Amino acid sequence: MRVSFDYQTLISGVSLSGLVENSCFMPGSGASPARHTLSHTLLFPKASIHTDSSLLKSRRAGLTVDKLPQCELSVVSVEGCLVPENRSLIHCQIGDCFWSIVFSPGRTWSQLSDGGMSRATLPFQLCNVLENDTHHGLITFLFSDETVSFAYFQIVTETAPFLIEDSFDGWGVIKISKQTRINQRRMERVIRQYEKEKKDQLELQDIAYVSNKVPTSLLHDLIVGFGADTTIVSGLVIGNEIFTTDCHTRAGPFPLPRSMRFGIWSATKTAFATIAVLRLGQKFGEDCRGARIAELLPEAKDATQWNNVTIGHCLDMATAVGTVAPNKEVNDIFADYILDEATAKLSNDHKNSFDHYFSWFLARDQRTKNLAAVRCPRYPWAPGAISRYRDQDLYLAGAAMDAWLKKRQGTGATLVDLVLQEVYEVAGMHHVVKFETVETQSERKIPLTQSGLLLTIDNVARLGKLLQNDGVVEDQQLLSSALINEIFNPTVEKGLRTGKYTEDGEIHYCCATWHIPYRAKAGKLFWLPTMWGYGGQIIQLLPNGMVAFRFAHDSSETEERYDLLKFARIADALTPF
C-alpha cells in the first residue's frame, strides 16, 4: 500500500493499483490549517471504478455498475471541515450508472510539501434505490483559489449487498473541476446548519472505556467472537455518550466515523414505519393500524385477498398472504421469504413466491409496485393469526399510511415529510436519507418503508434516546406515549411467534419490531425491542435506558447465527436490568 498521496501524484493523476491505507486520506505529520477556502460548486465527472472483482463488469437492473456517477456538489470549508451543501441522495445526471451517491462532511488542511496548495478529503457512500447497502469510500484532492487537482477515491467496506452479490474493493482517479462560487447567504446557511448538527452530536468514546466495568469475556466476545470479522462498527449509547468499536474496513479504520451513513435494510421497518405509526397516533389522536389496505390503495380494491387486511396486519407480518407455507402449525416466520434461485427451485410454490417478490422488488414506481405487491394469493386462515415475513407487506403498510395521512391533511402531505421533518429533525437526527419510489411526477412518490433508510451513528443514538424518553424532546411530545408503551415495553410479552429462538426463549414479532427474549442476571425475563435488518444491522432498546447498535455485512448463511444478546449482557453488567 502507498505510504501517502504526495503532491506530484495528486497533480499528475497517476493511476492507482489498489487500495491504500485510509490514513493516507487524512492529515499527516506536520499538517497545518488549509491555506485556502472552498465555497464552490464542484463537478465530479463520471469515472471508472477499478477493482479486482468481476462483479462490477456485469450490469444490474440494466445499469452499469463500474462507474462513479457524474454529479455536482457545492461545498463550504469551515474551521478545518469541508461541508457538502447537499447531504441527500444525488442521482447520476447522465448515462445509465447504477449508483447514486451521498457525501458527508470531511476535512481540509495543508502539508508543507504541497506546493502551496491545500488538501481536502470527503467521505461518500454509493447506494441504489433498489438496494439498501451502502458502499463507503473516501475521496481526496488538492485545491487552491484557482484550481483543483486530480482526485483519488477508494471504496473500502459496505453493509450487506444484495443485487451486487458480494463485497468489492474499488479505487480510481478523477479530475474534479471547480465551478461557480456559491453566494454568502448559502454559505451562511450551510455553516449554521452544520453548527447545529455538531451541537446535537453526543460525545464519541472507545468501547474499551467500559472494559474495566464488565467481565473480560463479554467484551472479548464482542471484538473477536462470532460476527466480529463482518462487523463494521458496533456500540452502546449510554446517557449522552456513544461507546463504539473502531469502524473496520479492508483498508484500516475508517477515519471519519460520524460521516458514515449506513444502509440499515429491514431495520427501516421499525426506524421509519413504526415511528410513522407513533407520530400519526400523536398528531391525530388515532391509531392508523385499524385502517384497511383495500380502502386506502386503489390497486388493492379488487384483490379480494386484501379485503380484511389492515395496516396493523401488514406491520405484524400477519396478512395471511403467501404461497409457500400453508400449514399454519409450522411456526417459521421466514417460510415465505424466498430470495435466492436455489431455494426457488424446490417447488412451484417456492418459485411463485420468488417471482412475486422480484416482480415487486424491481418495480420502481408506486402503481407498478402496489399492483405487484397485492397479486400474491392468500392462505386459508384469517389475517392476524400467523406471522409470515414479507417485505411487500411492510411496503404496503407505508403506502397505506401515506394515503391515510393525505385523507386527513390533504394531498400535499407526505409520510416522508411527517417522519423526517416532524420527528427526526426535531429529535436532532440530521440529514437522514430515505429512499422513495421513482416517479415521473414527484407528487406520486411514497417512501419505501420495508427498507431504504440511511442513518449515522449519531442518528441512531438520537432515535434510541427518543424512544427511551417516551417520545419526548425538550417537553414536546412527538410520538404517542400510549403506543410506545404498547409496542416497546420490554417487560411485556407481545406479538406473534416466529419459530426463531435465543437461549432464553422464542423471539416474537410485533408492529415491524422484533422482540428478543433475554433473562437478566437478576433473573427477570425481558423482551428487547429490536430493529433487525439484512446482513446484521441491529438497533436495540435495552431496559436500563441504553441503546445498542451494530452495522455489518454478514452473509445470508451466518446472519441468523449472530448473537443478538451480546450488548444486552454488557449493558446488564454495567447497569443491571
Other C-beta atoms closer than 10 Å to the C-beta of 464 total: 24
CB atoms within 10 A of CB 389: 18
Q: Is 123 helix (H, G, I), strand (E, B) or coil?
A: strand
Give the separation between CA 298 and CA 373, rounded to whole angstroms. Answer: 12
146 Cβ contact list (under 8 Å, min separation 6): none
Sign of the alpha-carbon dihedral angle for 220, 222, 223, 224: positive
CA angle 86, 89, 93 (to 5 degrees): 90
Instruction: Burial-class residue 473 by CB neighbours within 10 Å (0-12, 13-18, 19+).
Output: middle
What's the pLDDT tens digit per position in 57-109? 777 877 888 999 999 999 999 999 999 999 999 987 677 889 999 999 999 99
Looking only at the bridges linking them, the beta strands covering 241-244 and 203-206 are parallel
CB 107 within 8 Å of CB 81: yes
How is residue 83 written as a grid cell?
A: 461541508
Length of the chain: 577
Give the closest residue to 382 by CA, choosing from 314, 316, 470, 308.
308
What are the distances in angstroms from CA 492 to CA 38, 248, 307, 351, 529?
54, 36, 31, 38, 11
Other Cβ atoms closer than 10 A to 450 = 26
Do 336 and 356 touch, CB atoms closer than 8 A?
Answer: no
Q: CA 428, 432, 435 angle in degrees (round to 5)?
A: 155
* CB-side neighbour CA atoms (13 Å) of 42: 29
**pLDDT score of 4:** 67
Cell output for 327: 400449514
* Residue 289 near residue 554 (C-beta atoms within 8 A): no
Q: What is the pLDDT of residue 2?
A: 42
Share of residues in the chain with pLDDT > 90 (%): 84
* Residue 357 dihedral angles phi and psi, to the nearest 5°: -65, -50
Residue 43: is its pLDDT beyond 70?
A: yes
Percent of the chain with pLDDT over 70: 99
Residues in contact with 233: Cβ distance below 8 Å, sequence separation at least 6, in sequence order: 244, 245, 246, 247, 248, 257, 260, 457, 550, 551
What's the one-letter identity of residue 448? Answer: L
- Confidence band (pLDDT; 50, 70, 90) for 504? very high
C-alpha 178: how far from its chain's center?
31
* pLDDT (0 to 100) of residue 454: 98
Vertex 39, ends 36 and 43: CA angle to 5°?
105
Chain segment 286-304, per-residue pLDDT in tens: 999 999 999 999 999 999 9
Q: For residue 121, what pLDDT band results from cuts at 50, 70 and 90?
A: very high
Residue 22, helix vs strand vs coil: helix
Q: Report the alpha-carbon distance of residue 311 to residue 314 in Å, rounded.
A: 5
pLDDT given at position 134:
96
The 3-state DSSP composition of the chain as helix, strand, coil percent (nearest 5) reads 30, 25, 40
CA distance 51 to 66: 9
Among 252-266, 317-331, 382-396, 433-447, whose mean pLDDT is lowest? 317-331
Compute the distance between CA of residue 84 and CA of residue 92 in angstroms, rounded to an integer. Answer: 17
Mean pLDDT across the chain, nearest whole number?
Answer: 94
Q: Cell 460548486 appears where?
A: 41
524 grid coordinates: 427477570
Q: Is 420 helix (H, G, I), strand (E, B) or coil?
A: helix
Work out the average pLDDT over 483-500. 97
Question: What CA–CA distances, in Å, run from 452 to 37, 128, 316, 395, 522?
Answer: 35, 9, 19, 11, 38
User: 560 or 253: whose pLDDT is higher?
Assistant: 253
**DSSP string of 161-213?**
PSSS-S---EEEEEE-EEEEEPPHHHHHHHHHHHHHHHHHPPEEEEGGGGGGG
* 3-class secondary structure, 9: helix
Predicted local distance difference test score (pLDDT) of residue 60? 81
Nearest-CA neighbor of 16 among 154, 119, 175, 137? 154
* pLDDT above 70: residue 1: no
Give Cβ neighbours of residue 5 (< 8 Å, ≥ 6 apart).
Answer: 20, 24, 25, 140, 152
Q: Quick check: 489 pLDDT over 70?
A: yes
Q: Tens digit of pLDDT for each residue in 318-328?
A: 999 998 988 88
d(CA 335, CA 333): 6
